[in-house]
Amino acid sequence: MKTYYSPKHRLRQPKAELHDGQWVPSFESPERMDHILEALKARGLDEPLEPGGYGMDPVLAVHDADYIEFLASVWERWVAKGHQGDAVPNIWPARTLRDIRPQAIEAQLGYYALASDTTLTEGTWQAALAAKDVTLAATEAVLAGDSSAFALCRPPGHHASSSQFGGYCFLNNAVIAAQYARDHGKQRVAVLDVDFHHGNGTQEIFYRRNDVFTTSLHGDPEHAFPFFLGRADETGAGAGEGFNLNLPLPNGTTYRAWADALETALTAIEDFGAELLVVSLGVDTFENDPISLFKLTSDDFSDYGKRLGRLGLPTVFVMEGGYAVAEIGTNTVNVLAGFNAER
Ligand code: OKP
Ligand code: ZN
């Protein structure tokens, strides 16, 4: 399995994150990638490859043009206005206000944000662009005939919607991959999201479509971020009715129940007739993850990697979350090695 990676992710170095009422080091850190690279090497997986450039068309195929213009220019505008620190959204067109887009950058930050956990920083846009190129390179490898590929990217993507950032995400890498596969010959594509958090952006972008099946196992949004999307009754709309499957699970879920839900998702992917699978690979389901609530062990990641391998589909793995930094490498590589063992 080829791995694609770009050191440009380091250009995103968020200074801090407001957590439990305190500014703490950001959970979504550059060091996450170092630990995964180290584990790939230690376990004898292939050396990472650097991606080429894929331009903006694959991005504009799934994100709104005004949102992309905002992301591309926000840092310069923020600095030009004399602001010193990182840009943090803190006012929204909330339910009791007007749904309008004022010109002030402080207002646009909220207009284009879904949470204040995600700061905009000097190199964020360059890092996000590199992440989508890493993902597109992995997708291209699978479209060219590789059985699978791994996009080792950050920032992650699955919370990014057509027009909003948040949950540490800016461009939805998995969605960009799925759409790219649709535009390059695959008729039916499935996105399986195994990150602890619901992939609200992935759901939103494909919600009205029947050519991309989306399914997500996640902490019940009654108790977990992103709270406002991810319930089981969200099954798609219009032509997309029946093409979104949410499998919310309670706090404290262990592997037995998680693996049952995975089988439900895999069966649905087979019934759909997927020709290519994109896996939003978050490993924050781990028992010691600092911001998540499931209880998977490192061995469980190997087991579900095997189950994914047995599905037999061309598969693009796209890195999402995972914040237990000391174990993120082991858990990620366990999935990939388990998958490889079945191919
Ligand atoms: C991104 B991904 C801690 C909570 C802040 C919510 C989690 C975003 C997770 N202060 N943000 O799905 O792993
Ligand atoms: Zn997550």
Going by pLDDT thresholds of 50, 70 and 90, the confidence category of residue 135 is very high
Residue whose CA lies nearest to ligand 1 atom number 7:
167
pLDDT at 162: 99
Ligand nearest to the CA of 226: 1
Alpha carbon of 202 to ligand 2 centroid (Å): 13
**Is there a domain that residue 81 lies in?**
no
Q: Give the model's pLDDT for residue 11.
A: 98
Q: Give the residue-averaged pLDDT of 131-147.
A: 99
Please return the burial class of 82, using the count of CB atoms within 10 Å of its CB with bins 0-12, 13-18 and 19+.
exposed
Residue 177 lies in a domain: yes
Q: What is the DSSP string of 19-54?
A: ETTEEE--SS-THHHHHHHHHHHHTTPPPPB-----
Confidence (pLDDT) at 195: 99
Q: What is the pLDDT of residues 205-217, one digit of tens each?
A: 999 999 999 999 9
80 within domain boundaries: no
Report pTM: 0.98
Rounded to the nearest integer, the mean pLDDT of the chain is 98
Predicted pLDDT of residue 33: 98
130-138 average pLDDT score: 99
Q: Is 206 contained in some domain?
A: yes
- Ligand 1 centre to CA of 26 (Å) is 10
Q: Domain range spanning residue 218?
A: 2-53+129-341
Q: With a 6 A CB cut-off, is 320 part of the ligand 1 pocket? A: yes
Residues with CB under 5 A from ligand 2 (ion): 195-197, 282, 284, 321
Task: Give the contacts of 306 (CB within 8 A, at least 6 positions apart).
Answer: 338, 339, 341, 342
133 in a structural domain: yes
Max Cα separation, the chain? 55
Residue type, 310: R
Please give the average per-residue pLDDT across 79-85, as a whole number.
95
Q: Is residue 77 part of a domain?
A: no
Cα first-last separation, the chain? 10
Give me the CATH number covering residue 298.
Answer: 3.40.800.20
CA of 321, closest atom in ligand 1: 13
Per-residue tokens: 335: 């999935």
Q: Which residues, including other chains, have CB under 8 Å from residue 274's CB and lie 6 or more apart?
A: 188, 189, 190, 213, 313
How large is the average pLDDT for residues 25-35?
98
Query: CB of 197 closer than 6 A to ligand 1?
Result: yes
Is 150 strand, coil or helix? strand
The response to whether residue 19 sits with its C-beta less than 6 Å from ligand 1 reads yes
284 close to ligand 1 (CB < 6 Angstrom): yes
pLDDT at res. 333: 98
Mean pLDDT of 273-297: 98
Taking CA atoms only, the protein residue closest to ligand 1 atom 2 is 321
Q: Is the CB of 225 under 6 A from ligand 1?
A: yes
Give phi and psi for 192, each to the nearest 5.
-110, 120
Find out whether the beta carbon of 117 lies less than 6 Å from any atom of ligand 1.
yes
The residues assigned a catalytic role are 159
- In a domain, residue 78? The reply is no
pLDDT digits (tens, 9 = 90+) for 223-267: 999 999 999 999 999 999 999 999 999 999 999 999 999 999 999
Region 314-343: what's the mean pLDDT? 98
Ligand 1: centre distance to CA 291 (Å): 7
> Distance (Å, rounded) from C-alpha 233 to C-alpha 254?
23
Nearest ligand 1 atom to the CA of 166 is 8
* Residues 286, 328: Cα–Cα separation, whole Å: 9
Residue 282 in contact with ligand 1 by CB distance below 6 A:
yes
Ligand 1: nearest atom to the Cα of 20: 10
Ligand with minimal distance to 293 CA: 2
pLDDT at 211: 99
Atom 3, ligand 1: which residue's CA is nearest?
19
pLDDT for 80: 97
* Average of per-residue pLDDT across 160-186: 99
Report DSSP letters for 173-204, one per residue.
HHHHHHHHHHHTT-S-EEEEE-SSS--HHHHH
User: Rounded distance, CA 280 to CA 311, Å?
Assistant: 16
Q: How many distinct structural domains can be found in the chain?
A: 1
Does any ligand 1 atom lie closer than 6 A to the CB of residue 291? yes
71 domain-assigned: no
